[in-house]
Amino acid sequence: MRVTLLGTGDTTGTPTVGCACDTCETARERGIERSRFSVHVANDRTGESVLLDCSPDFRRQFLDNDVSLPDAAVVSHVHFDHLDGLGNVYRLLDDLPVYAADETDPVTGESVAETVASKYDYLDQVRVEATTPLEPTRVCGLDVTLVPVDHPPMICYGVVVEDPETGAKLSVTGDTSYGLPAESRDVLADPDLLLADAIVPADLCDHHPAGGSHHAPDGTPRTFGTKHMTREGALDLADELDAAETRLVHVAHYYPAQEAFAEPLAVDGETYELR
């Protein structure tokens, strides 16, 4: 199972359009990109691939990376930076099954699957597969499980991808606070590779209107506001899940320049072979 990080940034990406902060300028100078979040998972046994989330940067991501167009896609939630690239399949693919949760979101009154189906009803290529969370579904020869996480006020899911033949496991937290349900933590646990939401370092919680939450014993906030993990929270979660390797994703340009490209923060184009 080959995992390619197509997009490792948050909703504005790094560098952010029109921003001259030190971090964005450093990214431009070094030719580093963190486009909006998306992950390509290739099954070498079957020659198929799955796209986890459909970034608005779809076109550039597939031009810049040596990966195949997807045979299927998974949508974690309906925020634009994870969904709005789906329209790019027009004229590129004849058929794309899109796996999305079948649970009704009390905020929107419909499930993620229903939202995707209604938003892209004009695309004959998009075939929505309503999927029950916490139940593995075979996709392109891999077992894919949607995992409920905590991203208020909207419903959101992490994703686990396992190779049933080799046992290789990828866990993606999705957009989430540190307050993941215990059952979800159990499903995410023991991955060969963990991709964890880590939008900013914990000390930036002082600048959020809601501050920080889910504090560690030493008082460090593990959640930035209410929706995303801090770097420190993501690393604590990685330890709890016993991840063999961890990359921090959904990273904002608010990291100080001297920290923004340090390990284990991911950048676009990283590739991992899980066996």
Residue 248: which pLDDT band, with cuts at 50, 70 and 90?
very high
Q: Please, are residues 223 and 204 in contact by the beta-carbon 8 Å criterion?
A: no
Domains of the chain: 2-273 (3.60.15.10)
**pTM higher than 0.95:** yes
Residue-wise pLDDT tens digits, 34-54? 999 999 999 999 999 999 999
Give CA–CA dist 145/187, Å, rounded: 8
- Tokens (6 digits) for 60: 């550039």
Handedness of CA 52, 140, 1, 171 (dihedral sign): positive
Nearest to 82 by CA among 249, 263, 209: 249
Residue-wise pLDDT tens digits, 7-35? 999 999 999 999 999 999 999 999 999 99
Q: Please, are residues 146 and 133 in contact by the beta-carbon 8 Å criterion?
A: yes
Percentage of residues in the chain having pLDDT higher than 90: 100
Query: 3-state DSSP call for residue 133?
Result: coil
| pLDDT (0 to 100) of residue 263 | 97
| 8-state DSSP, 143 | E
| pLDDT (0 to 100) of residue 170 | 99
| pLDDT (0 to 100) of residue 60 | 97
Residue-wise pLDDT tens digits, 130-150? 999 999 999 999 999 999 999
Strands annotated E in the chain = 2-7, 38-43, 48-52, 72-74, 96-101, 126-131, 137-139, 142-148, 157-162, 169-172, 193-197, 212-215, 221-224, 228-229, 246-249, 271-273
Give CA–CA dist 210/222, Å, rounded: 13
